[in-house]
Amino acid sequence: VNKQGQTRLSQYYNNLSIEEKTILEGELIRKCLSRVDYQCSFLQFREYKIIYRRYASLYLIVGVINQDVNEFAILEMIHNIIEILDKYYENVCELDIMFNIDRTHFIINEIICNGEIIDMNKTNVLKPILLMDKFSVKT
Amino acid sequence: MSDIVEKTLTALPGLFLQNQLGGGPAAAKASFSSRLGSLVRGITALTSKHEEEKLIQQELSSLKATVSAPTTTLKMMKECMVRLIYCEMLGYDASFGYIHAIKLAQQGNLLEKRVGYLAVSLFLHESHELLLLLVNTVVKDLQSTNLVEVCMALTVVSQIFPREMIPAVLPLIEDKLQHSKEIIRRKAVLALYKFHLIAPNQVQHIHIKFRKALCDRDVGVMAASLHIYLRMIKENSSGYKDLTGSFVTILKQVVGGKLPVDFNYHSVPAPWLQIQLLRILGLLGKDDQRTSELMYDVLDESLRRAELNHNVTYAILFECVHTVYSIYPKSELLEKAAKCIGKFVLSPKINLKYLGLKALTYVIQQDPTLALQHQMTIIECLDHPDPIIKRETLELLYRITNAQNVTVIVQKMLEYLHQSKEEYVIVNLVGKIAELAEKYAPDNAWFIQTMNAVFSVGGDVMHPDIPNNFLRLLAEGFDDETEDQQLRLYAVQSYLTLLDMENVFYPQRFLQVMSWVLGEYSYLLDKETPAEVIAKLYKLLMNDSVSSETKTWLIAAVTKLTPQAHSSDTVERLIHEFTISLDTCMRQHAFELKHLHENVELMKSLLPVDRSCEDLAVDASLSFLDGFVAEGLSQGAAPYKPHHQRQEEKLSQEKVLNFEPYGLSFSSSGFTGRQSPAGISLGSDISGNSAETGLKETNSLKLEGIKKLWGKEGYLPKKESKTGNESGALPIPQESIMENVDQAITKKDQSQVLTQSKEEKEKQLLASSLFVGLGSESTVNLLGKADTVSHKFRRKSKIKEAKSGETSHNMTCSSFSSLSNVAYEDDYYLNALHDRGDKELKTFSLNSELLDSESLTELPLVEKFSNCSLSTPSLFADNSMEIFHPPQSIAASVAKESSLASSFLEETTEYIHSNAMEVCNNETISVSSYKIWKDDCLLMVWSVTNKSGLELKSANLEIFPAENFKVTEQPGCCLPIMEAESTKSFQYSVQIEEPFTEGILSGFISYHMMDTHSAQLEFSVNLSLLDFIRPLKISSEDFGKLWLSFANDVKQNVKMSESQAALPSALKTLQQKLRLHIIEIIGNEGLLACQLLPSIPCLLHCRVYADVLALWFRSSCSTLPDYLLYQCQKVMEGS
């Protein structure tokens, strides 16, 4: 989500209808954007624990339904995602994520699956997509 | 700008087609990728939501045209998909593209395929029907030689896959576990994890392979398998204790930095892996000293190593602390963990502070002193500008609340409550405040004020239990009567003040609470007359913003107050106003009031002031229900009953009987038999009482029975004369007294009855809503009340039984009038049974003696019973009535033993029991036994009657140990002395150890007679397997799950006799005879389930072909199906 409140990329691990998603995102974004620097990066929203992190104009927001979650682990996961994206796109920015929405999704798919962190090893995460890129170039 | 973009966009499809024709693929690609770009840019540039919507709709329609055009190449399709994904992400429906996404995954080359898969995983959900179309593609790709394709297929499987198609790909994926590439192995494990999530039964057989994955040489594969283990250990930690060592070793290696460098994150080795492992260890070590000991070392090391100042190490530390506190405690570790928490809490970094508070909240229950150490920090956090920190602090405080600090804490909570607007927060917090207020309230004023705040803020979103509990508390009061009065008075006063304020709107729930309290307790006021209160209520009634439900409450309150106000214009005005109301419910109330108002005498007797209201309110729900049932029966109608009420009724029928001073066990047992078919055919889930309550219940019960009794006797005569005269003199009672058993009248007023019954339902709902709260909360008071209820109910029902069909008898259904009815009936009852009195009293004394022992044993059972929700397999919760054999035969007999027996039986009718059977006797004693099929065991009761006129000493009953059974003596069974001509009972609970068909339980009774000689008498009882079978309440879904998980199965065809040719009747027989639970009947198939005590489930699948019933048993026990089958055959042939 960028600073203007526009969603750049979203992925759900439970099943909500499109309308529910829109409403949820709208409320959530408003909440996150209204927060200031001295406040902490966690909040409770409906039944979700929200963990967010801001990178320049971009907010990365993760909502977890499970109440006994380790917030810091998620917080760092967000950072790791950014680092991985950074490695792939070489100095990642909002536009990279937007214009390559498909690739970004691929990468996130490697990191999170069924709402759980599955792999944080940068090499491992990027291997499939690099392989795929190589193949595509060949053909 | 936006306009231009828009135009360009609309023009593009045309342009693109031209390009496509002329320019070839390169141009097409350029055009398309820029199209996503321009779409994104266009949207970014837009200023209003409306414009965005317009743009996207345009985009979508052009996409729709493109994707369905046959000329569209796969490459274009891929671009379209990406844009569709984008549109749907923004909240616009792109469902027309779903099928194309699947096609793309099927046909495309690598990248296109990947996009297709991605689109599928984003668009569809688990149970989407289109997903089935994907299965073929997945299977094909899994067999592909291209690594990337296999990878993709595995990825999509681990994201989304239809459950029913798992068998199609499972073998392929199992193969992949041996793949040479670790990435494939890892993904295969993840796919299996997915399967485990959606259908654990289907991957059960490959658990051994998970172990292999855990030991995989590649860290990634091992890490992936941890997900499965975390999950499985969460479900059942005891099954994986043997792996503790492995997990510890792995963690040791990880912590020691033995992993490849690329697993490091900011030079911390695989932090998330560590967290995962710590979690697993925490689960494994919970309450298990031996397992915990294994992990002390490694925990210590993790704590030590994680000292770098980085966020991710905090995450690890937090997890460590969490684990240290969940496993079996070790002081050194606890100390270190506490130090850690201290560091967090004191940190200036806001996020760390949050983490510290969270850890503290978790730890505080085990170690409250830690909170003391940090109390200043906590106070600071309370005033922290960040509401999240505040919230977390409050959560912490909530855990440490006690009687001393409650005022402050609740005040803080209220402050927070006033600031927050989000519904979720309010509901949550209001619940907590109410709970604390009830638990720890220091004084009345504070309590009422707090609750006022809760009601006005929480309003209509809060949990309905809160107002219900509050009212119950008010009504029942505490031990001290004056205290109660003060509390009530205070409540009344504070509500009047609140109502005096102009232009304030209170939530409906609050108004309801107010009106109830005012109606009940306004008489406590000195200054203000009831008329004034009525005037206030009237004002509210005329207020348009008040809902009609609330108005019903209000009018009920007015009705209660009317007899106290000597003359009131307001009441007349009100009557005038509402007898023409369009709301039938209101009109009904108004009519009731009107007629009562015309007859002040009756009204006063109906609505006495000084009656404690809880009897009244609660009794109402039962007694008028009873009346309603009677009417319903007489007219052949099926009476409406809320669920829990049915349950309550059932409970009440039996539970209290023995406290009845009248001791009329015969007629009441007769009653149960008679009443049941109509009234209680389907009782099941009830909101439960806690164990604590259960215990207190009976203790207070005994006392109450007696106290109540005398209390009532005291003023009964007075009332009787009043009511009696009244009912005689009254020219057929008013509309309000609608439950006239007199049929002629009811028929004449048929139409009226209709409205009335509607009204009645409404009331029933109201009353029952009151009831729900009562049942679900565990307080001492509650129980006393439950008993009263049953008392009343009991009496009434007996009355009915005794005089069925006699003179017309006012059974008012309105809640406020029913009380006097009960009183009246009491009297009636007394008179009617006067002749029987002597005899009964004698039995009663016996009963009450028995009670001491019986009640003790029964407590937990009662509680359990009431707890039975769908999940707990409860005893005959829904079919008890069919199986129930009314002990009428016993009732007929006046023999002392049998009356004793029947009294026993009644007490335990929540459980089904057998008739008493004499097992042995001699000239001095006779022993009879019965079985009580409780839901956790079989309770054998031997009642021993001393027939001689002499006293028996040290009577003792012993059961020989039997190989199949585990017999436990129930408390209260030793009898040093047995008086002449008395009856005592011995109870043993019997558990089964191994399935069997028939078993014999034998024992002997020994006694001393007049110190001369000791005698011994042997007896034995036959037990069948059926005595240990209980229904298993599960849903069809659970049935399906269980079915797959059971290995032992037995199939057999049984010929059905003619009487049960149809499936339902055959199943009914099984249900009745074998106590199986019918889960569902689908066409000619039926699902049943039962369990063998203590908890061996057995499932039965039936199918009917012509006159043959195909039975198919499955169970986790290998022998049980055979035995059950045998029983089934016996039953089916026998009947």
User: How many other CB atoms sit within 10 Å of the CB of residue B444?
Assistant: 17
Q: Do B110 and A120 touch (CB under 8 A)?
A: no
- Looking at every residue in chain B, the average pLDDT score rounds to 65
**pLDDT higher than 50, residue B82:** yes
Asked if B970 contacts B990 with a C-beta cutoff of 8 angstroms, the reply is no
How far apart are the C-alpha atoms of B894 and B898, rounded to whole Å? 7
- What pLDDT is recorded for position B605? 61
Q: Which of A41, A76, A108 has the highest number of chain B CBs within 10 A, making it the mutation to test binding with B? A: A76
Of B43, B111, B319, the CB nearest to A70: B319
Q: Among B525-539, B844-858, B1085-1099, which stretch is predicted with the lowest mean pLDDT? A: B844-858
A23 occurs within a structural domain: yes
Of A6, A72, A136, the CB nearest to B44: A6
Q: Do A4 and B271 touch (CB under 8 A)?
A: no
- Residue A2 DSSP label: B
Confidence grade of residue B1057 (pLDDT, cut at 50, 70, 90): low
- What pLDDT is recorded for position B606? 59
Confidence grade of residue B1134 (pLDDT, cut at 50, 70, 90): low
List chain B residues with CB under 8 Å of A75. 311, 315, 351
From first CA to last CA, the distance across chain B in angstroms is 86
| C-alpha distance from B274 to closest chain A C-alpha (Å) | 11
Dihedral sign (CA B710, B714, B715, B720)? positive
How far apart are the C-alpha atoms of B648 and B782, rounded to whole Å? 13
How far apart are the C-alpha atoms of B1072 and B146, rounded to whole Å? 61
Confidence grade of residue B438 (pLDDT, cut at 50, 70, 90): confident
Highest mean pLDDT of the ranges B185-194, B647-656, B787-796, B1003-1012? B185-194
A12 occurs within a structural domain: no
What's the total number of domains in chain A?
1
List chain B residues with CB under 8 Å of A19. 91
**pLDDT higher than 60, residue B508:** yes
Asked if B316 contacts B275 with a C-beta cutoff of 8 angstroms, the reply is yes
Interface membership of B753 toward A (CB under 8 Å): no
- What pLDDT is recorded for position B792? 35
Q: Among B241-245, B463-467, B865-869, B959-963, which stretch is predicted with the lowest mean pLDDT? A: B865-869
- What pLDDT is recorded for position B979? 67
Amino acid at B974: C
Percent of the residues in chain B that have a pLDDT greater than 70, as a whole number: 59
Q: Do B315 and A15 touch (CB under 8 A)?
A: no
Interface membership of B1020 toward A (CB under 8 Å): no
Interface membership of B325 toward A (CB under 8 Å): no
- What pLDDT is recorded for position B713? 35
Confidence grade of residue B159 (pLDDT, cut at 50, 70, 90): confident
Q: Give mean pLDDT, residues A20-25.
A: 76
| C-alpha distance from A123 to closest chain B C-alpha (Å) | 7
Which structural domain range is residue A48 located in? 18-135
Q: Please, which residues have CB within 8 angstroms of residue B517's CB and are 6 or more apart in sequence? A: B471, B474, B488, B491, B492, B495
| C-alpha distance from A36 to closest chain B C-alpha (Å) | 9
Highest mean pLDDT of the ranges A108-117, B401-410, B497-506, B838-847? A108-117
Q: What Cα–Cα distance (Å) separates residue B414 from each residue in B386, B408, B1106?
A: 17, 10, 68
- What pLDDT is recorded for position B808? 34
Query: What is the tens place of the pLDDT at every residue in A40-93?
Result: 777 777 677 788 887 777 778 887 776 677 778 888 888 888 888 888 888 777
List chain A residues with CB under 8 Å of B193. 114
Please name the residue that has the structure tokens 């205290």. Answer: B483
Cβ pairs bridging A and B (under 8 Å): 165
Please name the residue that has the structure tokens 């992190």. Answer: A53
- What pLDDT is recorded for position B748? 37
Of A40, A113, A114, the CB nearest to B350: A40
Query: What is the tens place of the pLDDT at every residue in B666-692?
Result: 333 333 333 333 333 333 333 333 333
- What pLDDT is recorded for position A138? 62
- What pLDDT is recorded for position B703? 34
| C-alpha distance from A39 to closest chain B C-alpha (Å) | 6
Q: Which of A22, A121, A132 has the highest number of chain B CBs within 10 A, making it the mutation to test binding with B? A: A121
- Residue B1052 DSSP label: E
Of B224, B311, B389, the CB nearest to A76: B311
List chain A residues with CB under 8 Å of B92. 18
Q: Can you list the alpha helix ranges (DSSP code H) found in B730-836?
A: 743-748, 750-776, 780-803, 818-832
Q: Do A43 and B358 touch (CB under 8 A)?
A: no
**pLDDT higher than 50, residue B1020:** yes
900-959 of B, contacting A, C-beta below 8 A: none
Asked if B1093 contacts B937 with a C-beta cutoff of 8 angstroms, the reply is yes
Q: For the CA atoms of B728, B729, B732, B735, what is the dihedral angle to 10 degrees?
A: -100
Of B81, B265, B391, the CB nearest to A120: B265
How far apart are the C-alpha atoms of B332 and B345, rounded to whole Å? 20
List chain A residues with CB under 8 Å of B36. 99, 101
Query: What is the tens place of the pLDDT at every residue in B461-493?
Result: 677 777 777 777 776 666 566 777 777 777 777
Element of type H or E holding B739? strand B739-740
Q: Give mean pLDDT, residues B297-306.
A: 79
Q: B417 or B707: whose pLDDT is higher?
A: B417
Q: Do B44 and A19 touch (CB under 8 A)?
A: no
Whether omega before A128 lies within 30 degrees of 0, making that bond cis, reads no
A42 occurs within a structural domain: yes
- What pLDDT is recorded for position A9? 63
List chain B residues with CB under 8 Å of A105. 85, 118, 122
What is the three-class DSSP state of B248? helix
Interface membership of B312 toward A (CB under 8 Å): yes
- What pLDDT is recorded for position B970? 62
List chain A residues with CB under 8 Å of B222. none
Q: Do B311 and A46 touch (CB under 8 A)?
A: no
- Specify whether the backbone of B420 is left (phi greater than 0), alpha (psi in -120 to 50) or beta: beta
**pLDDT higher than 50, residue B768:** no
Of A11, A72, A131, the CB nearest to B314: A72
Confidence grade of residue B1058 (pLDDT, cut at 50, 70, 90): low
**pLDDT higher than 60, residue B710:** no
- What pLDDT is recorded for position B181? 81
For the entire predicted model, the pTM comes to: 0.53
274-303 of B, contacting A, C-beta below 8 A: 275
How far apart are the C-alpha atoms of B256 and B553, rounded to whole Å? 69
Hey, what are B452's tokens?
A: 């006022």
Q: Residue B504: how many CA atoms within 13 Å on its side-chain side? A: 13
Closest to B640 measured CA to CA, from B673, B668, B682 = B682
A1 occurs within a structural domain: no
**pLDDT higher than 70, residue A4:** no
Q: B168 or B634: whose pLDDT is higher?
A: B168
List chain B residues with CB under 8 Å of A11. 122
| C-alpha distance from B138 to closest chain A C-alpha (Å) | 17
| C-alpha distance from B75 to closest chain A C-alpha (Å) | 12
Nearest residue of B to residue A19, measured between CA atoms: B91
CATH of residue A39: 3.30.450.60
Query: What is the tens place of the pLDDT at every residue in B890-919?
Result: 333 333 444 444 444 444 445 566 666 777
Q: Which of A1, A16, A70, A137 has the highest number of chain B CBs within 10 A, making it the mutation to test binding with B? A: A70
Q: Give mean pLDDT, residues B228-254.
A: 82
Q: Do A39 and B388 touch (CB under 8 A)?
A: yes
ipTM, two decimals, is 0.87
List chain A residues with CB under 8 Å of B118. 102, 105-106, 109
| C-alpha distance from B385 to closest chain A C-alpha (Å) | 8
A6 occurs within a structural domain: no
Please name the residue that has the structure tokens 């007896």. Answer: B1019
How far apart are the C-alpha atoms of B1029 and B912, rounded to whole Å? 12
List chain A residues with CB under 8 Å of B109. 136, 139
- What pLDDT is recorded for position A57? 74
How far apart are the C-alpha atoms of B809 and B824, rounded to whole Å? 10
Percent of the residues in chain B that have a pLDDT greater than 90, as a whole number: 0
**What HEC string does B930-981 produce?**
EEEECCCCEEEEEEEEECCCCCEEEEEEEECCCCCEEEEECCCCCEEEECCC
Please name the residue that has the structure tokens 């004034």. Answer: B532
Q: Can you list the alpha helix ranges (DSSP code H) found in B545-664?
A: 548-561, 569-578, 584-598, 600-606, 613-634, 643-655
A81 occurs within a structural domain: yes
Interface membership of B223 toward A (CB under 8 Å): yes
A56 occurs within a structural domain: yes
- What pLDDT is recorded for position B1009? 67
Query: What is the tens place of the pLDDT at every residue in B211-228?
Result: 877 877 788 888 888 888
Confidence grade of residue B776 (pLDDT, cut at 50, 70, 90): very low
List chain A residues with CB under 8 Å of B93. 18
Query: What is the tens place of the pLDDT at every residue in B259-280?
Result: 777 777 777 788 888 888 888 8
**pLDDT higher than 80, residue B866:** no
A62 occurs within a structural domain: yes
Of B109, B270, B318, the CB nearest to A72: B318
| C-alpha distance from A101 to closest chain B C-alpha (Å) | 7
List chain B residues with CB under 8 Å of A80. 265
**pLDDT higher than 80, residue B1104:** no
List chain B residues with CB under 8 Å of A40. 350-351, 353-354, 386, 388-389
Asked if A121 contacts B220 with a C-beta cutoff of 8 angstroms, the reply is yes
Q: Please, which residues have CB within 8 angstroms of residue B853's CB and are 6 or more apart in sequence? A: B970, B971, B972, B973, B985, B987
Q: Among B178-187, B835-844, B1007-1016, which stretch is predicted with the lowest mean pLDDT? A: B835-844
Element of type H or E holding B1090? strand B1085-1092
Query: What is the tens place of the pLDDT at every residue in B317-352?
Result: 888 888 888 888 777 788 878 877 877 777 777 788
Q: Do A70 and B275 touch (CB under 8 A)?
A: yes
Asked if B419 contacts B391 with a C-beta cutoff of 8 angstroms, the reply is no
**pLDDT higher than 50, residue B575:** yes
Q: What Cα–Cα distance (Å) separates residue A54 from each residue in A32, A35, B594, B631, B1113?
A: 10, 11, 68, 69, 59
**pLDDT higher than 50, residue B617:** no
Q: Among B367-376, B433-442, B614-623, B702-711, which stretch is predicted with the lowest mean pLDDT? A: B702-711
Of A19, A101, A110, the CB nearest to B82: A101
Nearest residue of B to residue A104, measured between CA atoms: B118
Amino acid at B760: E
Interface membership of B147 toward A (CB under 8 Å): yes
